Chain A
Amino acid sequence: QKEVEQDPGPLSVPEGAIVSLNCTYSNSAFQYFMWYRQYSRKGPELLMYTYSSGNKEDGRFTAQVDKSSKYISLFIRDSQPSDSATYLCAMSRDDKIIFGKGTRLHILP
């Protein structure tokens, strides 16, 4: 079983919809959880960073962590065409950060 699993998509949703992106993981040693957004030919850009189980909100973005189920989510409200990108989940253990494959998201105008 891979350490971090993420559906690569693509996921297409209409503008204004709520988007739900998810990752599962197998190693309970992961302590910190991040979501990055990556536009084509650019470096990953940090969106959200969280440690504990529960929800963390920042503007239109909500990150959710469920450590008991080893499951994390990113919700995007009122999605915009500019949100079209690849979204990467990432998890930290020891000195290493492991990334999911990334989900390609298309917001349709």
Chain B
Amino acid sequence: EPEVTQTPSHQVTQMGQEVILRCVPISNHLYFYWYRQILGQKVEFLVSFYNNEISEKSEIFDDQFSVERPDGSNFTLKIRSTKLEDSAMYFCASRPGNNSPLHFGNGTRLTVT
């Protein structure tokens, strides 16, 4: 069964550094998402992406965050200048249509030191 893949599985970075989290959504899916889960807390919506543009973003997704679909397969989340509080699991998800359920990757654990 096709799946969403995320790399790396674990990323350690120093505060103030830029990180790029990578995702390959399921190939026929059109809607792409990033979610964040701080350890022990709920899964929080960051941003949705459709037709090569952001369709919705949360208050967490400030100017330090950006997303890109540089080619037909990858979907990236960039954090420009990481803060300690950015430490979390970041999940990429995709779905084929607007009324379909999300399919998640296994996440990237980001640790900011």
Chain A interface (Cβ within 8 Å of chain B)? 31-32, 34, 36, 41-46, 49, 51, 88, 90, 92, 94-102
Contacts and interface: CB of A to CB of B under 8 A. Distances in A.
A100 B42 contact: yes
B102 A46 contact: yes
A44 B45 contact: no
A45 to B, nearest CB: 7
B104 A45 contact: yes
B31 A42 contact: no
A44 B35 CA distance: 11
A43 B107 CA distance: 6
A90 B104 CA distance: 13
Contacts of B104: 36, 43-45
Contact of A95 (B55, B106, B109): B55
Nearest to B102: A97
Contact of A101 (B42, B105, B109): B42
A76 to B, nearest CB: 19
A49 B48 contact: no
B105 A92 contact: no
Contacts of A31: 99
B5 to A, nearest CB: 11
Nearest to A31: B99
B75 interface: no
Given A34-B101, A43-B91, A49-B101, A99 B106 contact: no
B43 A99 contact: yes
B98 A95 contact: yes
B103 interface: yes
A79 B103 CA distance: 24
A46 B42 contact: no
Given A32-B99, A95-B98, A88 B48 contact: no
Given A42-B106, A95-B55, A101-B42, 13 more contacts: A31-B99, A41-B109, A42-B107, A43-B91, A44-B43, A46-B102, A49-B101, A92-B99, A95-B48, A95-B50, A97-B45, A99-B42, A102-B43
